[in-house]
Structure 1
Amino acid sequence: MDVNRRQFLTYLGAGTAALASLATGIPALAAGPLSGKTADHLFGLDAKKTNFNPKFTPIEPTTKDDVVLPSGYSYDVIASYGDKINPAGDTYDYLNADGDDNKRTPDQIQKYLYALGGSIIEIKKENGKWKLVSDSEYGRRVSGLTKHVLTGPAASIAKEVTGTFANCSGGVTLWNTVLSCEENYLDVVGDCKLPDDRHYGWVVEVDPFDPKSTPKKHTALGRFSHENTAMVLASTGQLVVYMGDDAKDQYVYKYVSKGKYDPKAGKANSRLLEEGTLYVANFGKGKWISLDLATNEALQKAVKADGKPLFATQADVLINCRDAAKAVSATPMDRPEDLEVHPIDGSVFIALTNNDKHGNFYGQIVRLFEKDNQHAGLEFSFEIFAAGGPQSGFSAPDNITIRLPKTYVHNIH
Structure 2
Amino acid sequence: MSGHRRPLPVLSHGRDQMTCLYRCGNACDHPVPNPTDNPYLGDLLSDGLTRRGLVRAGAAGALVLGFGAAAGATPAAAAAPAAPVASAGKAPAAGEAPVAGAASGRAAALGFKPIPPNELDTVIVPNGYDHAVVIRWGDPILPGAPAFDVHRQSAEAQLRQFGFNNDFLAVLPLGHDGRRALLVSNHEYTNEELMFPGFTTLEAMTVEQVRVAMAAHGMSVVELERAGHTGQWRPARGRHAYNRRFTMLETPFRFTGPAAGSALLRTAADPAGTTPIGTLNNCSGGVTPWGTVLSGEENFNQYFVGGDQAPAELKPSLARYGITTTARYPGGSRRWERAQERFDLAKHPNEAHRFGWIVEVDPYEPGSRPRKHTAMGRFKHEGANVIVAKSGHVVAYMGDDERFDYLYKFVSKKRYRPGDRRHNLTLLESGTLYVAKVTGDSPAAEIDGTGKLPSDGAFDGTGRWIKLVSGDRSYVPGMSAVDALTYARLAGDAVGATKLDRPEDVQPSPVTGKIYAALTNNSNRAVGTNPGVDEANPRRANRHGQILEITEDGGDHTGESFTWSLPIVCGDPADSSTYFGGYDKSAVSPISCPDNVAFDRTGNLWIATDGNALGSNDGLFATAIEGPERGHLKQFLTVPPGAETCGPFITGDERSVFVAVQHPGEITGATVENPASTWPDGDFAKPAVVVTWRPDGGVIGT
**In 1, Cα distance between the equivalents of 2:279 and 2:603?**
37
Q: Which residue of 1 aligns with 2:128?
A: 72
TM-score, normalisation: structure 2 = 0.48
Tell me how far 1:387 sits from its aligned partner: 0.8
Q: Which runs of 5+ in 1 are unaligned?
A: 1-23, 33-42, 302-310
Q: How does 1:258-277 map to 2 (within 5 A)?
A: 258-277=413-432
| Contact 2:296 2:356 survives alignment (8 Å) | yes
Q: Which amino acid aligns with 2:504?
A: E
Q: Which residue of 1 aligns with 2:593?
A: 396
Q: Deviations over 1:177-225 (max 9, x none)?
A: 1111111111233431224111111111111111111110111111111
Tell me how far 1:405 sits from its aligned partner: 4.3
Q: Which residue of 1 aligns with 2:189?
A: 97
Q: Which residue of 1 aligns with 2:400?
A: 245
Choose which of 135, 138, 142 in structure 1 pairs with 2:246.
142
Tell me how far 1:344 sits from its aligned partner: 1.8
Q: Does the alignment pair 1:177 with 2:292?
A: yes
Tell me how far 1:126 sits from its aligned partner: 3.1
Using CA pairs below 8 Å that are at least 6 residues apart, which structure has the higher relative contact order?
2
Q: How does 1:342-381 map to 2 (within 5 A)?
A: 342-358=509-525, 359-381=541-563
Q: How does 1:329-344 map to 2 (within 5 A)?
A: 329-344=496-511
In structure 2, relative to structure 1, the CA distance for the partners of 1:28 and 1:124 (3 Å cut) is: farther
Q: Deviations over 1:96-155 (max 9, x none)?
A: 226688335543332221111111001112345422126421011011121111111111
SS at 1:292's partner residue? Answer: strand
Q: Which amino acid aligns with 1:177?
A: T
Choose which of 368, 373, 382 in structure 1 pairs with 2:564.
382
SS at 1:246's partner residue? Answer: coil
| Contact 2:135 2:234 survives alignment (8 Å) | yes
Choose which of 495, 509, 525 in structure 2 pairs with 1:328.
495
In structure 2, relative to structure 1, the CA distance for the partners of 1:353 and 1:360 (3 Å cut) is: same
In structure 2, relative to structure 1, the CA distance for the partners of 1:382 and 1:316 (3 Å cut) is: same
SS at 1:54's partner residue? Answer: coil
Q: Which residue of 2 aligns with 1:120?
A: 221
Q: Deviations over 1:210-260 (max 9, x none)?
A: 111111011111111111211011111111000000110000000011111
Q: Which amino acid aligns with 1:111?
A: V
Q: Which amino acid aligns with 1:403?
A: D
**In 1, Cα distance between the equivalents of 2:385 and 2:46?**
28
In structure 2, relative to structure 1, the CA distance for the partners of 1:28 and 1:79 (3 Å cut) is: farther
Q: Which amino acid aligns with 2:429?
A: E
In structure 2, relative to structure 1, the CA distance for the partners of 1:210 and 1:78 (3 Å cut) is: same
**In 1, Cα distance between the equivalents of 2:46 and 2:602?**
35
**In 2, Cα distance between the equivalents of 1:380 and 1:50?**
23
Q: Which amino acid aligns with 2:553?
A: K
| Contact 1:254 1:279 survives alignment (8 Å) | yes
Q: Deviations over 1:248-277 (max 9, x none)?
A: 000000001111111232143121111111
| Contact 2:190 2:213 survives alignment (8 Å) | no
Q: Does the alignment pair 1:153 with 2:258?
A: yes
Q: Does the alignment pair 1:130 with 2:233?
A: yes
Q: Single out whichever of 125-134 and 271-280 deviates more from structure 2.
A: 125-134
In structure 2, relative to structure 1, the CA distance for the partners of 1:404 and 1:160 (3 Å cut) is: closer
**In 2, Cα distance between the equivalents of 1:394 and 1:137?**
41
Q: Which amino acid aligns with 1:94?
A: F
Q: Which amino acid aligns with 2:215?
A: Y
Q: Does the alignment pair 1:224 with 2:379?
A: yes
SS at 2:432's partner residue? Answer: strand
Q: Deviations over 1:146-176 (max 9, x none)?
A: 1111111111121211111211110011100
| Contact 2:107 2:603 survives alignment (8 Å) | no
| Contact 2:474 2:481 survives alignment (8 Å) | no
Tell me how far 1:52 sits from its aligned partner: 3.8
In structure 2, relative to structure 1, the CA distance for the partners of 1:326 and 1:265 (3 Å cut) is: same
SS at 1:168's partner residue? Answer: strand
Q: Single out whichever of 103-112 and 179-188 deviates more from structure 2.
A: 103-112
Q: Deviations over 1:327-353 (max 9, x none)?
A: 100001000011111112211111101
| Contact 2:521 2:546 survives alignment (8 Å) | yes
Count of aligned pairs: 362
Percent identity of the aligned residues?
Answer: 36
Tell me how far 1:27 sits from its aligned partner: 6.5
| Contact 1:245 1:251 survives alignment (8 Å) | yes
Q: Which runs of 5+ in 2 are unaligned?
A: 1-38, 48-75, 78-104, 146-159, 166-187, 193-200, 266-272, 306-333, 338-342, 440-461, 526-540, 579-589, 605-625, 627-651, 654-702
In structure 2, relative to structure 1, the CA distance for the partners of 1:165 and 1:185 (3 Å cut) is: same
Q: Which residue of 2 aligns with 1:53?
A: 109
**In 2, Cα distance between the equivalents of 1:262 and 1:374?**
18
| Contact 2:40 2:497 survives alignment (8 Å) | no
